[in-house]
A and B are shown apart, each in its own frame.
Chain A
Amino acid sequence: MTETVIEARGLSKTYGDFHALRPSTFSVPLGRILGVIGANGAGKTTMLNAVLGLSSSEGELSVMGCDPSTERGKLMQDVCFIADVATLPKWMKVGEVLDYVEGVHPRFDRTKAMEFLGRTNVPLDRKVRALSKGMTVQLHLAVVMSIDAKLLVLDEPTLGLDIIFRKQFYAALLEEYFDENRTVIVTTHQVEEIEHILSDVMFIKDGEIVLEAEMDELTQQFIEVMVTPGKEEEAQKLGPISKGVTFGKTTCIYKNIDREKLAELGETRRLGLADIFVATMTGEG
């Protein structure tokens, strides 16, 4: 049996009358890259903050066998996170950041961090304040990738960075950090960029988990058909979860319908994660 990293039962969070997260039950095993996808204010950060012990929550929650709300300090030996861009202390010099992490984190490997930084232009004697946004992220990434953690949580880690940095960021994450003994959780708006590295996805809408699936399965479930003119009625009968018009032709998105059957209606194609997300959020799927 695979080890479970996160086990949540009825996890929820309310602010007065507002349900930031409705009672959710889910578990995340080791060795996965999970993408948590949802609109702004959908409850992604609320959920991750509970997992990281950054805010209180109701329901049962166990992360690496710890209760995050009371054992955050202990939990952080095995869990690492980048909660936002530019959270590194601006008054510190790069070398001092490394000194600090080395001084408080038993699983930090300074040699590794120096190796990562050696490939960048980040100067060790410069203050974080004086680094560019991209360099700050490179530094932060070098720090977390040199910590031997079991769970890494990245909440919008690349917000505001240019595309080259974002590509490098995810490439490094996949190639040099991830293995079967770690789990990575990522949230981002740029779904297309992380789609190819994910093994699992979770869609969140209005504080509720509306979909939880493995990537391979998911992309097989959703099929888009560009309906051949004249077959619109037939297409409608199969119950598309979403309909649209492209180049004058009707396009229908189906969930869990046999591909061969759909091929009779017109040209079929698999959907990208972003399209699946939009279809799920707007349609009845």
Chain B
Amino acid sequence: MNIFPALVKREFLDGQNGYLRVPVILAALSIFLVIVSTIGFGATIEFDGVFDDHEIENLGQALDRAAASRRGDTELPAAVTLSYWVMGGISWVALPFVVFFTLLGALYEERRDRSILFWKSMPVDDWQEVLVKFVTPVFMAPVIFLAIAIASQLIVALFLSIVVLFQGGPILELWPLASMMGTWFYFATLYFTMTLWVLPVLAWVLFVSAYASRLPIMWALMPPAIIIAVEGILFETTTFLRWIGIQLGGWQAYAYEHIHADVDGPADFLALIFGGIQMDAISYSLGSVQFWVGLLIAAAFLFGSIELRKRAA
């Protein structure tokens, strides 16, 4: 009997505010802002006085003009793709918070409300519970968030297409699907790599939620803060803080060190991305000792969480 679908479904139901409501509300808000700023203020419909060139009066004409320009065939799709991320990607702001607080409550709330006694009366091993409670926020939540970002980008594209349809203009320029899908794929790989780097920190948060008898947020933040402070006072160094910084994303500065790109316009930016920057990220990670040490630390915290849950009743 495969019990994992039922466990994941339970995690999703438990955390559906963070997994679904928050990103959907944020996405709806940003789409709403796009629509209001387009229709309400009319700036994209009638470019009255925006351009010195009075031939461009609305979005349709602007697209027309951009497509016809010298670098239009390369710059325009890139510009459109990136602007969709700006208009439809705001949900991502919430993801780190959702992941952090979900993990922080994962093994704490069940002890606080004593529902652990019900979960433990079911034929589910502690390692299965801990694994699901880790994987769902860390790896499943980003998938949902990405799906919502993609959906909102498509909605924005659809809305702008309708506007341009009325104004007259090259609607197809609003659908640079190849580069849009490219960024989705790029985003997914980079995010996955970043998550693996952050894994020890996330596993620490889950460990705290299995350990803390109350105020898990204090337990999550105080020990690292104390280590940083003590290290600073005794040795006047910042090794631990730097380690955290690198795990949280600082590693990318090293991964892309050799890239001296001359970015001039959105097309160059996308070219850089598609040129394999995520491959640099992956190959740098796989060759980094700190990366592997981080994964080992994550495994140790997960193991500790499982042991703590076995003893919790």
Are B115 and A88 neighbours in the complex by a CB distance under 8 Å? yes
| B120 surroundings in chain A (CB, below 8 A) | 52-54, 72, 76
Q: Are A88 and B118 in contact (CB under 8 A)?
A: yes
| CB neighbours of B311 from chain A (8 A) | 55-56
Cα A106 to Cα B10 with chains together (Å) = 17
A100 within 8 A of B: yes
Residues A80 and B121 in contact in the complex (CB < 8 Å), given A54-B313, A87-B115 = yes
* B3 within 8 Å of A (CB atoms): yes
Closest chain-B Cβ to A99's Cβ sits at a distance in Å of: 7
Asked whether, in the complex, the Cβ of A55 is within 8 Å of the Cβ of B118, the reply is: no
Inter-chain contacts of A87 with B (CB < 8 A): 114-118
Contact residue among A88, A106, A144 (Cβ-Cβ distance under 8 Å from B123): A106
Interface membership of B73, Cβ < 8 A: no
Q: Does A222 contact B (CB under 8 A)?
A: no
| C-alpha spacing A54/B6, complex, angstroms | 22
Proximity bits, B250-292, A CB within 8 Å = 1, else 0: 0000000000000000000000000000000000000000000
Digitize B9-36: 1 where CB-to-A-CB distance is under 8 Å, 0 elsewhere: 1100110000000000000000000000
Residues of B contacting A89 in the complex (Cβ-Cβ under 8 angstroms) = 14, 110, 113, 115, 118-119
Question: Is B126 in contact with chain A by the CB < 8 A criterion?
Answer: yes
B126 CB contacts on chain A under 8 angstroms: 72-73
The answer for the CA separation of A144 and B118 in the assembled complex, in Å, is 11
> Which residues of A are found within 8 Å of B122, using beta-carbon distances?
76, 101, 104-105
Chain B residue at smallest Cβ distance from A55: B313
Q: Which of A74, A76, A92, A106 contacts B121 (CB 8 A)?
A: A76
Contact B118 A73 (CB under 8 A): no
Asked if A196 CB lies within 8 Å of chain B CBs, one says no
Closest to A86 in B: B114
CA distance in complex: A54, B310 (Å):
7
Instruction: Give the residue name and chain of the B residue nearest to A92 (CB).
Output: B13
- Per-position 1/0 for A89-102, Cβ under 8 A of B: 11110001001111
B14 touching A91, Cβ below 8 Å:
yes
Measured between alpha carbons, how far is A106 from B3 in the docked complex, in Å? Answer: 9
Q: In the complex, what distance in Å separates the CA atom of A253 from the CA atom of B113?
A: 45
Partner of A106 from B1, B119, B310 at Cβ < 8 Å = B1
Is A103 part of the contact surface with B, judged by Cβ < 8 Å?
Answer: yes
* B124, CB-defined interface residue at 8 Å: yes
Q: Which of A53, A92, A100 has the most CB of B within 10 A?
A: A100
Contact of A82 among B3, B9, B121, B313 (CB under 8 A): B121
B49 within 8 A of A: no
Q: Most B CB atoms within 10 A — which of A55, A89, A92, A101? A: A89
Q: Which residues of chain B come closer than 8 Å to A84, judged between CB atoms? A: 114, 117
Given contacts A54-B313, A88-B115, A91-B14, contact A103 B3 (CB under 8 A): yes
Q: Does A220 touch B at the CB level, under 8 Å?
A: no
Give the docked Cα–Cα distance between A98 and B310 (Å): 24
Compute how far the CA of A91 lies from the CA of B119 in the bound complex, rounded to whole angstroms: 14
Please tell me which one of the listed residues B1, B117, B125 contacts residue A83 in the complex, with CB atoms under 8 A apart. Answer: B117
Which chain B residue shows the least CB distance to A90? B113
Distance (whole angstroms) from the CB of A51 to the closest CB of chain B: 12
- In angstroms, Cα B118 to Cα A90, docked, is 11
* A82 CA to B6 CA, complexed, in Å: 21
CA distance A90 to B115 in the complex (A): 8
Taken together as a complex, chains A and B put the C-alpha atoms of A105 and B10 apart, in Å, by 14
**Residue B223 is within 8 A (CB to CB) of chain A in the complex:** no
Asked if A24 lies at the interface with its beta carbon under 8 angstroms from chain B, I say no
Q: Is A77 an interface residue (CB 8 A)?
A: yes
Q: How far is the CA of A99 from the CA of B124 in the complex (A)?
A: 15
| A49 at interface by CB-CB < 8 Å | yes
Whether B300 is near chain A, meaning CB under 8 Å from some CB there, is no
A81 at the interface (CB under 8 A from B): yes
Bound: A49/B120 CA distance, A: 11
Provide the bound-state CA to CA distance between A52 and B125, in Å. 13
Give the complex CA separation of A83 and B114 in angstroms: 10
Give the chain B neighbours of A49 by CB distance below 8 A: 313
Q: In chain A, what residue has the closest Cβ to B313?
A: A54
Interchain nearest-CB distance for B139 vs A (Å): 20
Query: Chain B contacts of A74 at CB under 8 A?
Result: 123
How far, in whole Å, are A67 and B2 apart by their CA atoms in the complex? 23
Are B124 and A81 in contact, with the CB atoms below 8 A?
Answer: no
Taking CB as reference atom, which chain A residue is nearest B114?
Answer: A87
* B237 interface residue per 8 A CB criterion: no
Asked whether, in the complex, the Cβ of A73 is within 8 Å of the Cβ of B114, the reply is no
Q: Indicate the member of B5, B115, B117, B125 with the most A CB atoms within 10 Å.
A: B117
Distance, CA A54 to CA B125, complexed state (A): 12
Would A99 and B9 be within 8 Å (CB), given that A49-B313, A87-B115 are in contact? yes
A-B contact list, 15 entries, CB within 8 Å? A49-B313, A54-B120, A72-B120, A73-B124, A76-B120, A76-B121, A83-B117, A87-B116, A88-B118, A100-B6, A102-B6, A104-B1, A104-B7, A105-B123, A144-B121
Query: A residues touching B (Cβ–Cβ < 8 Å)?
Result: 49, 52-56, 72-77, 80-84, 86-92, 96, 99-106, 140, 144
Q: Which 4 A-B pairs have the closest CB atoms?
A: A103-B6, A73-B125, A54-B313, A76-B123
**B interface residues with partner A (beta carbon < 8 Å):** 1, 3, 5-7, 9-10, 13-14, 110, 113-126, 128, 310-311, 313
Q: A73-B123, A89-B119 are in contact. List 16 more A-B contacts (CB 8 A).
A: A52-B120, A54-B120, A72-B120, A72-B126, A73-B125, A74-B123, A76-B120, A76-B123, A76-B124, A83-B313, A89-B115, A92-B10, A96-B10, A100-B10, A103-B9, A104-B123
